[in-house]
Structure 1
Amino acid sequence: MKITTLYVYPIKGLRGIEVQQAQIGPQGVRYDRHFMLYEVRQPSGELKKVQLDSHPKCALFEQRITADGASVTVCYHSPPGGNPDSATLAVPLEPDVASLEKITIDLHGSTAGAYSMGANFDEWFSARFGVPVRFVYIGDGKRAVLGNTLPPKQTQSESPAAQLQGGSGGWLSSLTSYVTGSSAQSAAASNKPWITFTDVAPLLVASESSLKDVNARLPEEDRPMPMYKFRPNVVVDGEGEDAWAEDFWAELTIRAEAEKEKKEHKLLLTGNCVRCTSLNVDYKTGKPAVGEMGNVLKKLMKDRRVDTGSKWSPVFGRYAFLSGGQDEHYTLSVGDEVKVTKRNTERTVWDWPGL
């Protein structure tokens, strides 16, 4: 197999950025989901996460990393019939947090300290979402990885559903406190897995073989269902593997061609990605799609509710953690060779408290 596409999402929930190369560390792709939007509920002031399923207007915001790599430019695409909007917003990828307000945020029950980016950013997004929002930066915050099955295990015996075929070898025993893009973080700060604003794991892997199966469920006039709607980080072609074979993938070995020594690196696939109504969003209108494209989730529910830990949600893709030493960082490229080097004999079972 080969990597066919790589994505990064500096601001969670907005359109992803397709890249040819991606720098990878224990917290995933560099700059991935380091920023997030929260709706400020009135009159309580409670913060509610802004994501595609609850705020489909997210699909109207495009992100572009500037040529110098120092910031991301956000462009808003007005829906059909809307007033043209040429205004853009520049967001520094490594903000100076010295003067920013520190707040506590909650995402899927995992809390962390974060920084409010300030009124100028809040007002720009609020005007386009039509509700008051707060724009936050994870900075040096760390969200705990919850549950018993998603974190990489130290031994195979810790996870009965993950009895591996072929090879022994231990699971990753610790992840560093590396924050991609930040040189100030100490690698000794924590020996437990932690994440930024990614949902439950640093990386999401998807297969084009399975996407073909999804497209076969749609009328010809609605094809192709684009991969970007599934919001992965790493997409492989699935060559030599059947559709949905990734349900049982436990470890992928990737040959990084961009590195001088062309080293091999491993990803540990620890959990299924269970899906929501974000799949049904029309990226042109910022609303739920009409017709069959608005029923993609329902179509998958017919036979893809294969995870007993989340029996009402269909599965597409696998969550992954980086395997390796404490300072493991490398560059993935489109075209890199990928091999399945370990498989599970049973599907993993979703286990994240409250989700």
Structure 2
Amino acid sequence: MKLASMHYYPVKSTAGHEVREAEVHPWGLAGDRRYLITDEHGEVVTAREEPRLLSCVARLDGDALTLTGPHAGPLPVTPTASRSTVTMGRTPIELTDCGDDAARWLSGLAGRQVRLKWLDDPTRRPVNPQYGLPTDRVSLADGYPLLLTTTASLDRLNDWIVETALERGEEAPAPLPMHRFRPSVVIDGAAEPFAEDGWKRIRIGAVEFRVSKGCDRCVMTTIDTATYTKGKEPIRTLSRHRKWDGKVWFGVNLIPDAPGRIAQGDSVTIL
């Protein structure tokens, strides 16, 4: 098996970037999800509620962040000295506000009042202790440092989606692209679809990871990133083939054992 691609998302729920190589930090890939968007009450806002956020492209040049989008000119972001506490899941975390200019820019895109927040210290947020060690940390991803998917699993899922459509008398849809699932790393050459369900530890290049748990999927996977509209797939078909514990599943979460560097084409070994 090999590492087919890597992706990072500077601002949670905005467009991702594919890179040929990346530093792996304890909390995730370098530059991944250190920023997020909140409403005026400090509640996290994602593309689940505001799909147009996916049209925002956040670019990093070193530590400097610039926002680009279809509604306004590019905006360099300058964090302030103001901090506030935001709750992610059940965990309160202190974040730095990124100022009124960024708030106005993103509010214009979202069509509601929102603000941009920055995790200035990525060692601040622990992972769920049920699935990690007390020392494990995560940026502003949903729960774990990296998300792994495989091309074999996506191919099988797309076959199932076509079967579901034809059984219902619908036109066979185009295959879903992998970016719908917002992975950190995509693996090619798995022996079987969903083989990753049974992995406990893996090595990518020279970096070793624990597989903490499977990834339950939400409505965000149903958003067409060309039109920013929601459809039925893949949730409809995952509910038929990949549903247990009241959730649907695609991909697995990873926690790195130590920092390192990985690159496209690196070998992948099950440990």
TM-score, normalised by the number of residues in structure 1: 0.70
Tell me the distance in 1 between the aligned counterparts of 2:172 and 2:54. 21
Contact 1:23 1:331 in 2 (8 A): yes
Structure 1 unpaired stretches of 5+: 41-45, 78-84, 153-190, 256-263, 342-355
1:304 shift after superposition: 0.5
**Contact kept in structure 1, 2:207 and 2:261, CA below 8 Å:** no
Instruction: Work out whether 1:230 is the aligned partner of 2:146.
Output: no
Q: Within 2, Cα distance between the matches of 1:317 and 1:240? A: 13
1:295 partner amino acid: E
How far is 1:74 from its partner? Answer: 2.4
Task: Tell me the equivalent position of 2:126.
Answer: 144
2:43 aligned with 1:48? yes
Answer whether contact 1:38 1:135 (CA < 8 A) is retained: yes
Distance verdict in 2 for CA 1:65–1:102, change over 3 Å: closer
Given that 1:100 and 1:118 are in contact with CA atoms closer than 8 Å, whether structure 2 keeps it comes out as no
Separation in structure 2 between the aligned mates of residue 147 and residue 223 of structure 1, nearest angstrom: 40
Secondary structure of the equivalent of 2:233? helix
Aligned to 1:285: 227
* Of 121, 131, 145, the match for 1:202: 145
**Residue 300 (structure 1) aligned with residue 238 (structure 2):** yes
Q: What does the per-residue CA deviation read over 1:189-226, in whole Å, with 9 as the maximum and x for residues that have no partner?
A: xx622222111111111111101011112348532211
- Offset from partner CA, 1:221-266 (integer Å, 9 cap, x none): 53221111101101101x14200110111111122xxxxxxxx221
Deviation at 1:147, TM superposition (A): 4.2
- Structure 2: where are the runs of 5+ without partners? 163-170
1:288 maps to amino acid: K
What secondary structure sits across from 1:194 in the alignment?
coil
* 1:53-74 Cα deviation digits (max 9, x unpaired): 22212222223334xx343432
Change (3 A) 1:331 1:38: same
Name the residue aligned to 2:253: 319
Is 1:31 paired with 2:31?
Answer: yes
C-alpha distance in 1 between matches for 2:25 and 2:249: 25
Q: Deviations over 1:287-317 (max 9, x none)?
A: 213xxxx3321111112014xxxx2221111
Corresponding residue number in structure 1 for 2:166: none
2:267 aligned partner: 337
CA contact (8 A) 2:161 2:233 kept: no
Number of residue-to-residue matches in the alignment: 262
The structure 2 residue matched to 1:273, chosen from 196, 199, 215, is 215
Aligned partner of 1:252 in structure 2 is: 202
1:110-259 matched pairs, under 5 angstroms: 110-140=91-121, 142-148=124-130, 150-152=131-133, 192-219=135-162, 222-237=173-188, 239-255=189-205
CA distance in 2, matches of 1:330, 1:225: 31
Distance 1:278 1:270 in 2: 22
Answer whether contact 2:99 2:116 (CA < 8 A) is retained: yes
Indicate conservation of the 8 Å contact 2:13/2:46, yes or no.
Answer: yes
Q: How far is 1:273 from its partner?
A: 0.5
Q: 1:119 to 1:143 in 2, by over 3 A?
A: same
Percent identity at matched positions?
Answer: 25
RMSD: 1.8
Q: Per the alignment, do residues 75 and 65 of structure 1 end up closer, same or farther by CA in structure 2, a change over 3 Å counting? A: same
Asked if the contact 1:251/1:268 (under 8 Å) is kept, the reply is yes
Superposition deviation, residue 52 in structure 1: 2.0
Letter in 1 for 2:216: V
The structure richer in strand per residue is: 2
* Secondary structure, counterpart of 1:121 in structure 2: helix
- State the 1:146 CA deviation: 2.4
Determine which of 65, 68, 79 is the counterpart of 1:75.
68
Question: Any idea what SS the aligned residue of 1:316 has?
Answer: strand
Question: Could you tell me how far apart the structure 1 residues matched to 2:27 and 2:138 are?
Answer: 6
Tell me, in whole angstroms, the C-alpha distance in 2 between the residues paired with 1:18 and 1:89.
22
Matched letter for residue 73 of structure 1 = T
The separation in 2 between residues aligned to 1:207 and 1:332, in whole angstroms, is 17
